[in-house]
Homo-oligomer: A and B are copies of this chain.
């Protein structure tokens, strides 16, 4: 008889969830990438039925005692890490009452539905009508999660996406960035003002762009025997670790957004494709967190993908698939990929101005959740911070202001910081790998990405959720999150 009966039972429970999750992931991917419009109602009903089943499994009352008993069983280190992650999943599934989950569903779907019209109409007043209820639900979630976890309210929300991350850390890190970022943006844009730049000349047919994107994915080691690239309105990395489904979208007038977006998703995809296989189906074998996931996509898109060395390899691929142009010469292509230009839209931002957008959102949604400000206060704060951080006057422009993202209509409070924390971790990883392999950039320029992918595989991908984020960072790079590497990276690339 097993000496770890409760742990074994929990592991079987996780494996079942993993398998049902597989079908939910493929059903969701198909909805975004393949499903014809009239299939939507039936698909929604089917996915909701499965979600209901999974929720019942996750909230099975017998789990509480089983978790407590498993703690007493003789587990090895990996099993203990798995048990920690099982408990985390259990906590998140059980922390909120069904009535609040339903209220959230109702409020966010109403708000998001209205937002799709209100954003193009620049209708802030209309938006606030629905958003108040979303905010009420978000605050109530924060209150309950905070009570049960002992974390502060906003910390409790962040914990769902980035376990262990706290406002104390974010304040410290974003506070530092705030000190030097506006000056760095000013110096970088000034420096680029006189730089010659040749614009690419379209159109770029979709079939050629697709071939280019797939070639770039191959160049970056994506395993097409365990994944695909398709098209969806909103690009994402979906599927399951055993079968990764990436999407992009094509615009015949512009190819770099799709190409670099695909490289971004390839970073997410390779993380998933290379998660540890030993305990596959268990939470410990899943990706660590959202910030760490984003650190992989940004390692691919920003650290590697926009490095001068990598562009040596990318430029010939672009010319091969889209036909040669002066704009596709490596030096010019790199300049196109490293243009710095403050703007209103987060998702269009370059890597230098991007953190400003995230800091702004954090500085608004945190007091929103803590109850220090109300929805009505957002526009004034938004305008002040855009002026302060990026020098842009956004007065009266709600569409490209607080209405630009789907996160708030969807009550995804606590998520935004992950984007910039990911960028900072990515810089930290590249600093560590350059210490480990000093000729990394030389080898990348020659087409040998082993120093990069080998390091990521060993230190991030193969670790899954074995360690907390802090432990992972410490083991990988010798220190926990340190934004100095991000600053050094930006200075080297944009002021060097």
Interface residues of chain A, those whose CB is within 8 Å of chain B, are: 16, 19-20, 22-24, 26-27, 30, 34-39, 41-43, 45-50, 53, 223-228, 239-240, 242-243
Of B38, B41, B47, B243, which contacts A35 at CB under 8 A?
Answer: B243
Given contacts A26-B26, A242-B42, contact A49 B19 (CB under 8 A): yes
Give the number of copies in the complex. 2
> In the complex, A242→B30 CA distance in Å?
14
Contacts of A243 in B (CB 8 A): 35-36, 38-39, 42-43
The one of B19, B46, B53, B225 in contact with A22, judged by C-beta atoms closer than 8 angstroms, is B46
A242 touches which of B20, B39, B227, B242 (Cβ 8 Å): B39
Given contacts A242-B42, A243-B36, A243-B42, contact A20 B227 (CB under 8 A): no
A224–B36 CA distance with the chains assembled, in angstroms: 7
- Nearest chain B CB to A4 CB, angstrom units: 22
Most interface-central of A37, A223, A242 (chain B CB within 10 A)? A242
Query: CB within 8 A of A49: which of B20, B46, B224, B227?
Result: B20
CB-contact partner of A45 in B19, B39, B48, under 8 A:
B19
Name the residue among A34, A42, A43 with the largest chain B CB count within 10 angstroms: A42
Considering the chains assembled together, what is the distance between the CA atoms of A26 and B226 in angstroms? 18
Name which residue of chain B comes closest to A48, CB basis.
Answer: B19
A227-B22 in contact given A30-B30, A49-B16, A240-B42 (Cβ < 8 Å)? no
Query: Shortest Cβ distance from A399 into chain B, in angstroms?
Result: 30
Of A35, A45, A46, A47, most B-chain CB atoms within 10 Å: A46
Q: Find chain B residues with CB under 8 A from A38 CB.
A: 223, 225-226, 242-243
- Return 23 A-B CB contacts under 8 Å, by A number: A16-B49, A19-B42, A19-B45, A19-B48, A20-B46, A22-B42, A22-B46, A23-B27, A23-B46, A26-B27, A26-B43, A34-B34, A36-B224, A36-B225, A36-B226, A36-B243, A37-B225, A38-B225, A38-B226, A38-B243, A39-B226, A41-B242, A42-B242
Q: A240-B42, A243-B42 are in contact. Are A20 and B50 (CB under 8 A)?
A: yes
Distance, CA A226 to CA B49, complexed state (A): 21
- Chain B residues with Cβ below 8 Å from A19 are 42, 45-46, 48-50
Among A26, A37, A47, A228, the most chain B Cβ lie within 10 Å of the Cβ of: A26
* Alpha-carbon separation in the docked complex, A243 to B26 (Å): 15
Partner of A227, one of B16, B36, B45, B227: B36
In this complex, what residue of B is CB-closest to A224?
Answer: B36
